[in-house]
Chains A and B, each alone.
Chain A
């Protein structure tokens, strides 16, 4: 019998409303008991968690693993190493690979590679449209049967409203959320940063907040019309978040996420970066007022999940100039410390709410196992050290990518250990099952 006792940690589990010093016993891949001063059964490994937070495993609903097709940026193996090193026990990966994950064979391949890596759980997100081309539905049912947990054309929007309607309708047969990147490409008009005072000042073409807002409005209306399950990816504007609030008041069960970098950086940081494309993201880093509204939405419960929107790129990709360089930052190993530092230590939300946003709600939103330390739940846990102060060092990343704007930033609160299926897969800088 494979047993692990995590002793004397501060157990925080929103699914049970727990926040107190307790022990957690894991047995054969499941949570066997949570309680004070649990007895240690024979043949049990013990992990001393004094001073650490013990939470249900963090789940990242939004990553891009580059395999198959772009292994020079990231492989499923290095992506999984980055995930567990960043405190995530499970990650969902977007379908923008080559070939695109619009086919059950690709879905199965991703799952197989993830099983070989044997670190984090990987849940593939299938494409909405064939080849992400926005014209014809992909084989959504076949992908669901092969293990896809949601569908998305990320990072492409579904521009055709009729296709979006049909996707929301068709996915109902398989109870899959339709996760959308909201952007009106006509309004974006080739822009590369947030359109506002800063873009005007530094002379970059802008992407207005309204490019996101009009699509969010459209899709909320379509979700209401079709009864489909809509999940809004990485929202970044006050209006988009307001629209979510309005839709909920009208009774719509919609979910939304926010990427960690979106509540940390602004367009002023882009200006300060001397056109370095590591500060280029999509949606773009918004202005201070939008960032303030994101923090408000995290505080008031409008946001369901905090994600990394992990987008690894090769150094060569980011040697292009700001306009030509691909958007995205490598996020798996910085999302949790950014959230702990800015949201918990920054007194935006308490630890309980943070765990809800990074574990319990993500599990609920995509219908994934985990998100709880109830007896019988999968033995996936994230241990956090809230007190440690560390500087982001891209050279220490487990990801093969280094495209981060956070190098050198000092953050307080880091993951301390990651446990998947009852096995410690990362602890103190060392990856691998022990």
Chain B
């Protein structure tokens, strides 16, 4: 049964998938369908958010997510301010709320925030009248990534319902895995988490997923195989022994991909570690939709900005 899309987003923010209803998710996906078309125009810009101000507050290094938001904002004609800092303001003596109050003095309409600590966007959303969009908080959520992933799956498969989605990698530290699990569960897909138990969160099943400690059995009949980045810089060698061993037992190779459904697609939120979690032959192969994910990311972020600005889904691309 198809999910009925909502009329509008109920909150002022998008801080996590767990706070969105299936109808709201469907609304964002269908809005993005229409906005995707903007990228194909000779002049890739609509005046929808003219006069709106967006602050991109990136307290953790990011390239693709930040660029994707910026492109989305510019295509909607918003004014953008970028604030990047790899160190949190706290180390400079400023609290998160102080940072927020300073930003509010500039009266932005949106704050897109990436933060190394889980829950920072949620706290900001409580004290700031602007719409907060979470661009990734700690190990908690990365809602726009999950939405663009779902959008990409929908392009290949008619519906998310009943889809068998394998998500493999460092699940324990992955906000992408968590947001995807929340979203796919709400939309009726079947999620399988794969990782050595040292990289799985405890009681992952409570998120509505099944768990596997080896890749092979999870791949059987899979429609989507999403490989997560092993964040070399974050790993302690207590979690798994070596890159060689990770590749030998947990990477997606052509042989392992053959265990999935013939029509299976391969996804990766990027940036990839070729030869660690994914074999180049697979990353660049016919089943890979990794670059489509990037393209779709812009449409999803445009849709969220548009909907939070109070838009309705009738005509986002020519308002």
- Chain A positions within 8 Å of B, measured between CB atoms, are 130, 135-142, 145, 160, 162-163, 165-166, 168-170, 172-173, 226-228
The distance in angstroms between the C-alpha atoms of A167 and B198, with both chains bound, is: 8
The distance in angstroms between the C-alpha atoms of A228 and B239, with both chains bound, is: 15
Report chain A residues within 8 Å CB of B213. 172-173
Min CB distance A140 to B, Å, is 6
The distance in angstroms between the C-alpha atoms of A142 and B245, with both chains bound, is: 6
The distance in angstroms between the C-alpha atoms of A140 and B198, with both chains bound, is: 13
**Interface contact B245-A172, CB-CB below 8 Å:** no
**Interface contact A170-B196, CB-CB below 8 Å:** yes
- Chain B positions within 8 Å of A, measured between CB atoms, are 196-198, 200, 213-214, 236-242, 244-245, 248-249
The distance in angstroms between the C-alpha atoms of A168 and B239, with both chains bound, is: 11
Min CB distance B247 to A, Å, is 11
The distance in angstroms between the C-alpha atoms of A135 and B241, with both chains bound, is: 11
Report chain B residues within 8 Å CB of A136. 236-238, 241
**Interface contact A169-B196, CB-CB below 8 Å:** yes
Report chain A residues within 8 Å CB of B200. 169
Min CB distance B250 to A, Å, is 8
The distance in angstroms between the C-alpha atoms of A163 and B198, with both chains bound, is: 10
- Enumerate 7 A-B pairs (CB-CB under 8 Å) in ascending A order: A141-B249, A142-B245, A160-B238, A166-B238, A172-B197, A173-B197, A228-B197
Listed from nearest, the 4 A-B pairs whose CB atoms lie closest are A136-B237, A169-B197, A169-B198, A170-B198
Report chain A residues within 8 Å CB of B214. 173
**Interface contact B248-A141, CB-CB below 8 Å:** yes
Known: A173-B213, A173-B214. A139 touches B197 (CB 8 A): no
Min CB distance B139 to A, Å, is 17
**Interface contact A137-B241, CB-CB below 8 Å:** yes
Min CB distance B130 to A, Å, is 40
User: Chain A interface secondary structure, helix, strand, loop or mixed?
Assistant: helix
The distance in angstroms between the C-alpha atoms of A228 and B238, with both chains bound, is: 15
**Interface contact B245-A173, CB-CB below 8 Å:** no
For A160, the closest partner residue in chain B by CB is: B238
Known: A173-B197, A227-B197. A166 touches B241 (CB 8 A): no
Min CB distance A141 to B, Å, is 5
The distance in angstroms between the C-alpha atoms of A137 and B241, with both chains bound, is: 5
Min CB distance A95 to B, Å, is 14
**Interface contact B238-A137, CB-CB below 8 Å:** yes
The distance in angstroms between the C-alpha atoms of A138 and B237, with both chains bound, is: 9
Task: Identify which of B238, B240, B248 contacts A163 (C-beta below 8 A).
Answer: B238
For B236, the closest partner residue in chain A by CB is: A136
The distance in angstroms between the C-alpha atoms of A227 and B211, with both chains bound, is: 13
Min CB distance B132 to A, Å, is 35
**Interface contact B239-A139, CB-CB below 8 Å:** no
Min CB distance B202 to A, Å, is 8
Residue of A137, A139, A227 with most partner-chain B CB within 10 A: A137
Report chain A residues within 8 Å CB of B244. 139, 142
Min CB distance B171 to A, Å, is 12
Min CB distance B168 to A, Å, is 12
The distance in angstroms between the C-alpha atoms of A172 and B249, with both chains bound, is: 13
Known: A173-B213, A173-B249. A140 touches B241 (CB 8 A): yes
Report chain B residues within 8 Å CB of A227. 197
**Interface contact A166-B198, CB-CB below 8 Å:** yes
Residue of B196, B236, B248 with most partner-chain A CB within 10 A: B196
The distance in angstroms between the C-alpha atoms of A140 and B240, with both chains bound, is: 9
